[in-house]
Amino acid sequence: MLTNLNKFNLFIEDRNNFSYKTFGSPQKRGCLEPLNKLKEELTELMENPDDESEWADCLLCFLDAAWRKGYSFDDLLDFSVKKLEINKKRKWIIKENGNFQHE
């Protein structure tokens, strides 16, 4: 039986292999193209947040961009843990548009 961590690691490996074979090496394509595609996918997700495939598209584009930049999932997790600790120490306010922002 696969644990979620094992399943995720297999997914990352499969995704990286698919991306390499389909779109080329990170050196050939870089991270900006998948980030631009992520912008498009985010717009689609915002228009239809109930569509599970749009959530998946955003995650796949994000992971592709990070991989092409040379970041592993472990790197992203480490960055996020550090950033969460910074955000916990900030004071947050609600802007007029309803979004939160730190002071």
Per-residue pLDDT, 38: 98
CB-neighbour burial class of residue 1 (10 A; exposed 0-12, middle 13-18, buried 19+): exposed
d(CA 74, CA 90): 25
Count of C-beta atoms within a 10 Å radius of residue 67: 21
pLDDT over 70 percentage in the chain: 100
pLDDT score recorded for residue 1: 73
Is residue 32 pLDDT above 90, yes or no? yes
Which tens digit of pLDDT belongs to each residue from 76-92?
A: 999 999 999 999 999 99
2, pLDDT greater than 80: no
Average pLDDT value for residue range 48-77:
97
